[in-house]
Amino acid sequence: MARLNSTGLGRRILPSIALMMLLLLSPLAGCLGGDDEKKPSKVHVIWGADATAGSILHIMAPNSQNTTQSLDEAEFTFDFNETYSEEGDISTFWVDPGNGDPVVEVNAADMSTVTVSYDKHGIYRATLGANDSEGNSGEVEVFLRVEYELHYDNTQSTDNPYPVWFDTSPGSDEASPRRVDLMSNATNPPGWLLQPGGPSTVTWTVRNPADTEEDASTKEIADGGEDQYGWGTNDPLAGGWRMDIDVEGDQITTETFLTIEYEPLETDIPEPPVAE
């Protein structure tokens, strides 16, 4: 009489049952895991701009001890004219500048542009958004590059020019400066009959935030002559730097120009949408 091998039969049946259960449960996996996925926004943010990189222009009052005469902030204007919603009417456009300043918001019925400005250099992660009448909102992130220019002059002859101060600390945590450069011109004004002039010995010294000397140069400038000093470094230490100008001999006037630059990390401006 033949005998059934129940052990072998079980080995054949169990994998088949497991396979069937796997096939039955597979369609449910997407449904169960989909609750955590963010649904696509009904608001489509389409933006344009003239630029996503700019520069701050800082002019110190001549002959002052680091007193600001003017500060032109880097300004960016975003155009949301092509932004639309699948459900309602667009009600507001807004921009979070990403520097801790309040969100700038405008009524979409009045205008389609939003302008933000920055008074500190850095790479900023701005958020551009729009809301519609049905409570939907959409947003996109845009990186902005803000660099820095400083002008400081001593237009009155002196043998004790004020130091030139500059801060390389960025206004955001996104990136640090790539490079800082400065150029300083010194002029020894010519003497005249009742007050003859003489030579000047000028020493420029750059000091880092730890007050350590980074670079120095000494030049002899004849009466009525001029000379200049240039310095720059990559990846400068964050903090307050200064350039001292020491003079021996005849008095001088000075002009100093400085720039702080970043890697080009800004977002490219998108191409305008093409009409269908």
- Does some domain include residue 125? yes
- Alpha-helix residue ranges (DSSP H) falling in the chain: 6-33
| C-beta atoms surrounding 123 within 10 Å | 24
Of 25-39, 105-119, 198-212, the range with the lowest mean pLDDT is 25-39
**Residues 217-276: pLDDT tens digits?**
999 999 999 999 999 999 999 999 999 999 999 999 999 999 999 999 999 999 987 655
How many angstroms separate the Cα of 240 from the Cα of each of 168, 213, 223?
A: 7, 13, 34
Res. 53: pLDDT tops 60 = yes
- Does some domain include residue 119? yes
Res. 144: pLDDT tops 70 = yes
Domain count, the chain: 2
Query: 8-22, 127-141, 189-203 — which one is most confidently predicted on average?
Result: 127-141
**How far, rounded to the nearest angstrom, does the alpha carbon of residue 232 sit from its chain's CA centroid?**
20
Range of the domain at 107: 43-146
Q: In what order do the strands lie in the sheet with 164-167?
A: 164-167, 240-249, 200-207, 213-221
**Does residue 158 share a domain with residue 140?**
no
Instruction: Residue 108: give its domain's CATH number.
Output: 2.60.40.10
- The SS3 call for residue 89 is coil
Q: What is the pLDDT of residue 29?
A: 45
Res. 8: pLDDT tops 60 = no
- Does some domain include residue 245? yes
**Does residue 237 share a domain with residue 170?**
yes
Instruction: Residue 159: give its domain's CATH number.
Output: 2.60.120
**Does residue 177 share a domain with residue 247?**
yes
- Does some domain include residue 252? yes
Res. 19: pLDDT tops 50 = no
Strands (E), 52-136: 53-60, 68-72, 74-79, 84-85, 90-96, 104-107, 113-118, 122-132
Res. 92: pLDDT tops 70 = yes
Mean pLDDT of the chain: 89
**Does residue 156 share a domain with residue 127?**
no
CA nearest neighbour of 121 among 150, 79, 164, 153 = 150
- Does some domain include residue 97? yes
**Does residue 176 share a domain with residue 135?**
no
- Does some domain include residue 179? yes
| Triad 28, 32, 38: Cα angle to 5° | 130
Res. 77: pLDDT tops 70 = yes
Q: What is the pLDDT of residue 114?
A: 99
Q: What is the pLDDT of residue 275?
A: 59
**Residues 157-185: pLDDT tens digits?**
999 999 999 999 999 999 999 999 999 99
